[in-house]
Amino acid sequence: MSSGIIVNPRIKEEFESIKMQSNPQKRNRGLVIALPANKNESELTLEKVIPPSDSSNHKEDFINVLRSLPEDRAVYVVYDIFGKDINNQDQYKIILITWVPQGASLFTKIVVSSTKGTLKSALDVTSNEKTLESVDEVNYDELCTIAGIKL
């Protein structure tokens, strides 16, 4: 379904900077992308850049990001997730989280279904994605696997 909604160029710029930064400790962890709040708005906008973390607890960092998300509206989260692979090597992979809490309006849920393809195409994120409704349903290892890290 095509929505006519576009991706703000700043989202693409910030996403490219995450991909291009070779040092994971200096790289921003991700982006929170806001959906249009009403039918008069016509683009996905950058709500927040998730900065690098000094913590070595990547799972807790990720959970804290999710805890900071709104409970009454949907957003997209593009996140550079970390895991140790089967060879005990550090791996960072991009995952797209569609955050659709139960408190989100019907309008927001419709916008999610009609804009996800646009965002995935703009960022060239094709398969590493998961939809979440609450922090309680997060399985970090599953998300790492979805992102392409062989644990």
The answer to whether the beta carbons of residues 148 and 37 sit under 8 Å apart is no
- Please report, as a single letter, which amino acid is at residue 97: I
| Domains of the chain listed by start with CATH number | 6-147 (3.40.20.10)
- Please report, as a single letter, which amino acid is at residue 70: P
The two tokens of residue 93 are: 């992979």
Phi, psi (degrees; rounded to nearest 5) at 18 = -65, -45
- Please report, as a single letter, which amino acid is at residue 93: K
The answer to whether the beta carbons of residues 84 and 145 sit under 8 Å apart is no
Phi, psi (degrees; rounded to nearest 5) at 30 = 175, -170
- How far apart CA 18 and CA 110 sit, in angstroms, is 29
Q: What is the pTM of this model?
A: 0.91
pLDDT tens, residue by residue, 107-132: 888 899 889 999 999 999 877 999 99
pLDDT tens, residue by residue, 38-81: 888 889 999 999 999 888 899 999 999 999 999 999 999 999 99
Strands 90-99 and 75-84: antiparallel
